[in-house]
Structure 1
Amino acid sequence: MTRGTVLQGLQTDPYYFERNGLYIGQGTTTMSRAGLFRASEGIAVDMNDRVFRLPSFYDVLEGEIFLQNLPSIVAAHALDPQKGERILDMCAAPGGKTTAIAILMKDEGELVAIDRSHNKAQVIQKLAFEMSLTCITTYKLDALKAIRQRNETDDINTNQSSNSLRFDDEKASSSTTEGFNSDKTCKDNVSNAIEDGGTYVSKADIRKAMRRMRNGPGRNQCLGGRVENSKGFYPDSFDRVLLDAPCSALGLRPRLFVGEETIDSLKRHATYQRRMFDQAVKLVRPGGVIVYSTCTINPGENEAVVRYALNTYKFLSLASQNPRIGGPGLVGSCEFPDGRTEEWLRPGEENFVQRFDPSSSLDTIGFFIAKFSVGSKDV
């Protein structure tokens, strides 16, 4: 995709006719493909024609509101965060649930938000800054590597600023300006280098500099700066953990195309989610709470993960949720052609979880929420 490209389906696309009934509009890109991923602000696509003439909420009550789906708000409330607690939000981007939790705990305590993507971690911290929330600390960290061994040096607590993402508006703005001066042309840079006795600048370097000027600042010059890797956290170090796990996202809508998901890919999602849940169990203290949520309707990633958790960790138990808006979970099991049986919930457990169905009268995205109470781990 290049600047000026019109976003319109082509009949040469093998999925054209499948998507043909899902037309959402036409637009023209205003920046290059690299710029789309690098720029944190601005207009990426100028819509020429669209189905719904809805007003944009961009910059409307900035710092005051954050639009998100109803089940996401319910998940934050189900966690029941309290003032002064230490809470972990795993896979926290883009930060909607993170900021909702911070507000529920009155911005008092410590809310740690992690994401393995540097750019996504920046989005979380920028949102927290805009909403004036000071209890949120954001780290670039893979949730599967969140456990830290006791014999490691204790630099994460004594020197948080070196490993966490802190928003410094003045510093970030100055670094961005210094890194990219659009008034200077590449030719000026070449001539100055030669006059000052500098090294010769090749045509490749000139082209590279021109791409940087066209695409905008790299992530080191973005607001918030670069995020260093974290060494993780000690076991039993959080009062509550929210695991909004990566999933097949089959509950999101509108879904323009879901053909990339297969039975095998759904199984891989479930395996990944169980590994993440293992990390969550290790990080939460006895007497704490874990909330597991997804935005999919696939029971293999929902009820089956709950069954895995209850069978694997005997000190876990399902807890009631407030508010309760979604429907009950699925009871039973599923037998696959390869002879494998996938267990779901057992009778009596279905009302402890919340399942949101896109086809229900609630008119929400597909979503799933399960809340666990953590007992003594000595059992």
Structure 2
Amino acid sequence: MFYPKTPFLGNPLLEGEILKVNSAALAPLLEWLCLTPKVTTYRVNTLRITIDGFRKKLEEKLSARYGQGCPKVYGLPNLPEVLCIEPLALHYTDAFADPTRKEIIVDTTCGAAVLRGAHIYAPGVLAMESHTQLHELVSVYADLSGKCKRGSITRYDNPEKVYLGSGKVLMQRYQLYNNSDEPASGVAVEMQSNVSGVPSLGDLSSEEAVLQNLPSIVCVRVLDPQPGEHVLDMCAAPGNKTGHIAELMGDQGFVVALDNSASRVRNMLQKLTQYKSISAHVYDSTKALAPAAIEGSTGPPFPRESFDRILLDAPCSGLGNRPQLSCGIKQAKVLKSYPNIQRRLFEQAVQLLRSGGILVYSTCTVTEEECECLVAWALSKFSDLRLVDASPRWGGPGLVLPNLDASKSRLLQRFGPSEQCVDTVGFFIAKFRKDKIIQI
């Protein structure tokens, strides 16, 4: 799906200064970021349900919604815990708005989620026309300009609104804009169809399976945690990768999940109660290394070489998320701050990793500074780190830099607009091994 205005255009940081790709590659990349990935992926918790058991549940849900024309559910080689839902046939998509229907306006974050198959939650609704009735079918638009006033009652007339699809109203105006201390929550509009072709099922996540982007699943497979190991997830919230780590370990071992936000850790713990191997802590991972040995402690900070494997899914600019319906100037101004925090976290990770251990660095962005440049910096700074193949491989190779040759870039995994990549979000994965020090 193409949008009338690419949100990156006119922003020099996003057009080249930060992305740092040649002009021939830049335009396809920016266009790709504005498109919706077509495939929906679930990661099945095989400790709770079989793959066939959850496949049956998905197929029943799709059949009830779309009948005999429901999309196919299929698996992927080398990722046995993954089930994918193919996009809908064209006649199920909703390409044009019905002018007789009332309109709902949502923000761009909500709009992007709708195009990925989500329903509309109350906080995302910017405007609803007056006299909109419960269970009424409405046309849903995203406000690309950011100028729609929250709570508006008249039809929003702006050339930068884009049609997303149709939905059924589950919450009325007085519920959405009640001016009480408790903001409205829950599903406000249940999407019936959208323009992207992604099935509008909402999020079917449960203890049995999690709706998750494919590269995030691949990332933990690259880490390859084993039963009985000590594993650290340095920036763990919202906890999907943490749960996947525990599942691959058969919930046998010691998994530490750190995040510096108390609210995010509380939300994460609610999802991870089923795992006995996970210990979650509110902690700043840039200070995770203990200045001296600590006897008998199971929480942060930790002594040197405490972990067999470490996942550093670092805070990043998030420019791999698709579709990107808007990109504010404020975001552009902070892009250059991310490599600094990523390097500080990486320095901690190297010291916390045991000799012979594995460190996986990942981001959900496409900027060179936060991806390949970080790898080149790490290899030059830490002589005991060696880059190894980030497999299983579902993305393409990394970019070649003056200080990162093709032999090394081929070991990286970058998800982007390439025939070598599945149609998913932008993502980056690098895998390192810490060499054992040989005493002479």
TM-score range, shorter chain: 0.5 to 0.7
- Structure 2 CA distance for partners of 1:375 and 1:12, relative to 1, 3 Å: closer
Pairing 1:20–2:161 present: yes
SS at match of 1:91: coil
Could you say if the C-alpha distance between residues 81 and 49 of structure 1 is closer, same or farther in structure 2, counting changes exceeding 3 Å?
Answer: closer
SS at 2:243 equivalent = helix
State the distance in 1 between where 2:416 and 2:202 align.
26
Equivalent position to 1:363, from 423, 433, 438: 423
Which residue identity lines up with residue 406 of structure 2 in the other structure? P
Residue 373 (1) aligns with residue 433 (2): yes
Identity %: 37
Matched residues in 1 for 2:417 and 2:159: separation? 20
* Cα distance, 1:300–1:373 mapped onto 2, change above 3 Å: same
Deviations 1:53-106 (A, max 9, x none): 944444x47311011011111100000100100000111111111111111111
**8 Å CA contact 2:308, 2:358 repeated in 1:** yes
> 1:262: how far off?
6.3
From 174, 180, 186, the equivalent of 1:43 is: 186
Deviation at 1:248, TM superposition (A): 0.7
Shift of 1:239: 0.4
- The match for 1:87 is 231
Aligned to 1:199: none
Aligned counterparts, 1:220-259, within 5 A: 231-259=300-328
Distance 1:13 1:253, change over 3 A: closer
Counterpart secondary structure, 2:161: helix
1:147, CA displacement in angstroms? Answer: 1.4
Pick closer, same or farther for the CA change 1:33–1:271 going to 2, 3 Å.
farther
- Counterpart contact for 1:11–1:17, Cα < 8 Å: no
The aligned residue for residue 353 of structure 2 is 284
Supply the distance in 2 between the matched residues of 1:136 and 1:109 (Cα, whole angstroms).
Answer: 8
Q: Identify the structure with the greater helix proportion.
A: 1
What does the per-residue CA deviation read over 1:113-132, in whole Å, with 9 as the maximum and x for residues that have no partner? 11111121122222122xx2
Aligned-pair CA distance for 1:321: 2.6
1:354 aligns with 2:423: no
CA distance in 2, matches of 1:107, 1:98: 11
* Cα distance in 1 for residues equivalent to 2:186 and 2:362: 32
In structure 2, C-alpha distance between the alignment counterparts of 1:312 and 1:18, rounded to whole Å: 51
Query: Between Structure 1 and Structure 2, which shows a larger proportion of strand residues?
Result: 2
**Contact 1:3–1:32, Cα closer than 8 Å, also in 2:** no
Structure 2 residue 285 is the aligned partner of structure 1 residue 143:
yes
Length, aligned pairs only: 289
Q: Could you say what secondary structure the match of 2:256 adopts? A: strand
> Which residue is 2:363 aligned to?
294
Secondary structure of the corresponding residue to residue 21 of structure 1 = strand
Deviations 1:178-210 (A, max 9, x none): xxxxxxxxxxxxxxxxxxxxxxxxxxxxxxxxx
The 3-state SS of whatever aligns with 1:287 is: strand
* C-alpha distance in structure 2 between counterparts of 1:257 and 1:12, whole Å: 8
How has the CA–CA distance of structure 1 residues 155 and 74 changed in structure 2, closer, same or farther, with 3 Å as cutoff? same
CA distance in 2, matches of 1:265, 1:3: 24
Matches within 5 A, 1:150-169: 150=292, 154=295, 156-157=297-298
Equivalent residue letter for 2:256: V
The partner residue of 1:332 within 371, 376, 401 is: 401
In structure 2, how many angstroms separate the alpha carbons of the residues matched to 1:367 and 1:377? 32
How far 1:151 moved relative to its partner? 5.5
Gaps of 5+ in 1: 158-229, 334-342
Kept after mapping to 2: 8 A contact 1:90/1:115:
yes
After superposition, the CA RMSD in angstroms is 3.4
Q: AA paired with 1:6?
A: A
Q: TM-score, normalised by structure 2?
A: 0.58
SS of aligned partner of 2:309: strand
Cα distance in 2, alignment partners of residues 48 and 55 from structure 1: 6
Q: Aligned letter for 2:435?
A: G
For the Cα contact (< 8 Å) 1:19–1:256, is it kept in 2? no
Which stretches in structure 2 are left out of the alignment for 5+ residues? 1-121, 129-140, 149-156
Q: Structure 2 vs 1, CA of residues 250 and 2 (structure 1 numbering), >3 Å: closer, same or farther?
A: closer
User: Are the counterparts in 1 of residues 145 and 160 from structure 2 also a CA contact under 8 Å?
Assistant: no
* AA at the equivalent of 1:347: A
**Residue 109 of structure 1: aligned partner:** 253
Query: Offset of 1:298 from its aligned partner?
Result: 0.6
Answer whether contact 1:125 1:137 (CA < 8 A) is retained. Answer: no
* Structure 1 residue matching 2:366: 3-state secondary structure: coil
Residues 320 and 371 in structure 1, CA contact (< 8 A), matched pair in contact too:
yes
TM-score scaled by length of structure 1? 0.67
How many Å apart are 1:265 and its aligned residue? 2.5
- 2:414 aligned counterpart, secondary structure: strand
Q: CA deviation at 1:2?
A: 8.7
Query: Closer, same or farther in 2 for the Cα pair 1:105/1:151, shift >3 Å?
Result: closer
- Which residue does the alignment assign to 1:96? 240
Cα distance in structure 2, aligned partners of 1:291 and 1:90: 11
Range with greater deviation from structure 2 (114-123 or 83-92): 114-123
Q: Structure 1 pair 75/10, CA: closer, same or farther in 2 (3 Å)?
A: closer
Evaluate the alpha carbon distance shift between residue 287 and residue 264 of structure 1 in structure 2; reply closer, same or farther with a 3 A threshold: same
* Residues 48, 32 of structure 1: alpha-carbon distance in 2 compared, 3 angstrom cutoff: farther
Contact 1:86 1:239 in 2 (8 A): yes
Q: 1:257-288 deviations in whole A, cap 9, x for unaligned?
A: 12336665222111111111111111111110
